[in-house]
Amino acid sequence: MIPLLSCDAVRALDADAVARLGVPSSILMENAGRGAFEEIVRRYPERLSRVLIVGGVGQNGGDGWVIARHLFLRGHRPRCLLLGERSKVRGDAAPNLQAIETLLGPVACVSEPALDAALADASLIVDGMFGTGLDRPIQGLAASAIERINRADAPRVALDIPSGIDANSGKVLGAAVRAELTLTFAAHKRGLHQHPGAVHAGEVVLVGIGVPAPGPTRISVDEPEYAAIEAADVRELLPLRAADTHKGRGGHVLVVAGSPGRTGAAVLAGYGAMRAGAGLVTLCPRAGARAALDAKVLEIMTSDMPAELDAAVAHVVEEMRVKHSAVIGPGLGTDDAGSKLAERLALELSAPCVLDADALTAFRGRAKDLRKAAGPRVLTPHPAEAARVLGVSTEEVQADRYQSALRLAAASGAVVVLKGARTVIATPAGRVRVCPLDVPALGVAGTGDVLTGITAALLAQLPAAEAALSAVYLHAAAGACAAIADRGLLAHEVADAVPHVLSALR
């Protein structure tokens, strides 16, 4: 796991180094600036002649002045501009600004003409204007400066976090620098791993500053509250199977999905489960859809559900006596009969279940009712579905995906997989996991059904939170494996790529 820190946790990490370890804060700034300088030299050796450093009055600016000093000592003459009033520079940033002024002369304050002239000549731009403590929208001259920096031709490097990005949520606070590279200090920040913060950050590289890294990083009850998933985490949870494994040990997944005219989602969920290692899969659609499914599948079994509600529920309960996990929802229907069926199964089945699509819509505005479920539940909503269950707008969900997932997990008592770019997994206990893989090609119909099936297959073997994080990572990695471009991917190709990802993990 890669721990993801809030802005308050970052401050606490620095304060602990100063108070407990006795490391002067000036040393931390020197280490940050020197580490960033070394990474810049390594990445951009041909662009060091006309580096422009735009720093703010705070400590983020101080990191930039340290970089400027080291560039000067290497024989270059960087150009420095200060966003704000010289008299407001405080703390460790002040002596570092004084040092660079001694070497290069007075640092001018940012004005639009001065910035335009400097940007026209810059070979590289270093953004040190605002750091992780920013908590208000950027306006006025600062917003204009960011817009001008974003229009410049030179590559942009952000220090710690792109100026204008909320360090906790990743949202844009008015305006934000779009960096090619972000050099983040001491630990990864949460806002760097959710969009739009992730796209503004570009590539993120961790720079040590001489303090102990936050931890622990292994999967345990003491694991960090927020963390990004790594391949090693999934490898640990999915060991190689014994040589004498048979289909019964792989688990039997029941997919309660599909209705007349809407059988594709059920098939994709079934294939996702099979490709992720389920030994057997049975599709159980609503009455009238079994024949269509029989014509589409080879390796997967089907079951005929009665039309009447009580009989249908009793049929599924009987089916689950010899099965290990279930999917409920994809293509089941949002009509009154479909919603009642989904609701009763979601609450009455004692086996672990993945609730998706129409099963989630059945609980519109009633997240707390899911606490009555008879067994473990994993919810896999896309943002609009999460909004429906929470009774809020999709825009509100997307404004802070971390908090939205946590809110739904706390209300429902279930593990929540909030789908989308940088999928978020949240538990009722308040732990958050993030998939670090961006795969634009996964934005196509059916890929969510495949994820649902993968999750159900792993839920037959693992606790809900572990099954969810493993499934999310496998799904994203399979999408990356199968995608030829940023579009044109078919959902079944994602399922087909899962075994290749499992092989690569090992």
Q: Give the global pTM.
A: 0.93
Radius of gyration (C-alpha) of the chain in whole angstroms: 26
Q: Which of 272, 333, 267, 298 is nearest to 459 (CA)?
A: 272
Task: Give the C-alpha separation, 450 to 356, whole Å.
Answer: 11
Long-range contacts at 71-77 (CB < 8 A, ≥ 24 apart): 71/37, 72/100, 72/103, 72/104, 74/41, 74/48, 76/48, 76/49, 76/51, 77/104
DSSP for 212-251 reads PPP---SSSTT--SEEE--HHHHHHHSPPPPTT--TTTT-
Residue 178: CB atoms within 10 A of its CB come to 18
What are the backbone angles phi and psi of residue 284, rounded to the nearest 5°? -130, 90
3-state secondary structure 52-121: EEEECCCHHHHHHHHHHHHHHHCCCCCEEEECCCHHHCCCCHHHHHHHHHHHHCCCEECCHHHHHHHHHH
Residue carrying the six token digits 């978020």: 424
Digitized pLDDT (tens) for each residue of the chain, 506 residues in all = 999 999 998 888 888 888 888 989 999 999 999 999 999 999 999 999 999 999 999 999 999 999 999 999 999 999 999 999 999 999 999 999 999 999 999 999 999 999 999 999 999 999 999 999 999 999 999 999 999 999 999 999 999 999 999 999 999 999 999 999 999 999 999 999 999 999 999 999 999 998 887 754 433 334 569 999 999 999 999 988 888 899 998 999 999 999 999 999 999 999 999 999 999 999 999 999 999 999 999 999 999 999 999 999 999 999 999 999 999 999 999 999 999 999 999 999 999 999 999 999 999 999 999 999 999 999 999 999 999 999 999 999 999 999 999 999 999 999 999 999 999 999 999 999 999 999 999 999 999 999 999 999 999 999 999 999 999 999 999 999 999 999 999 999 999 999 999 999 98
User: Using CA of residue 8, residue 187, residue 230, residue 443, what is the dihedral sign?
Assistant: positive
Closest CA to 34 of 74, 90, 7: 74
How far apart are the C-alpha atoms of 50 and 38, rounded to whole Å? 16
With a CB cutoff of 8 Å and minimum separation 6, the contacts of 310 are none
Distance CA 80, CA 104 (A): 9
Q: Where are the alpha helices (DSSP H) in 261-393?
A: 264-275, 290-294, 309-319, 336-348, 358-361, 383-390
11 in helix, strand or coil?
helix
pLDDT of residue 224: 67
pLDDT, position 215: 59
* φ, ψ for residue 211, nearest 5 deg: -120, 155
Residue 174's Cβ-side half-sphere holds a number of Cα atoms within 13 Å equal to 17
Q: What is the pLDDT of residue 222?
A: 44
Q: Where are the domains of the chain?
A: 2-207, 229-237+244-505
Strand, helix or coil at 325? Answer: strand
How buried is residue 20: exposed, middle or buried, by Cβ count under 10 Å (0-12/13-18/19+)?
Answer: exposed
For position 239, what pLDDT does the model report?
A: 86
| Max CA pair span of the chain | 85
Residue 16: the pLDDT is: 85
CATH of the domain spanning 229-237+244-505, picked from 3.60.15.10, 1.10.287.610, 3.40.50.300, 3.40.1190.20: 3.40.1190.20
- At 212 the pLDDT is 80
The answer to whether residues 14 and 186 touch, using CB atoms and an 8 Å cutoff, is yes
The DSSP bridge partners found for residue 418 are 424
Q: Which CATH architecture has domain 2-207?
A: 3-Layer(aba) Sandwich (3.40)
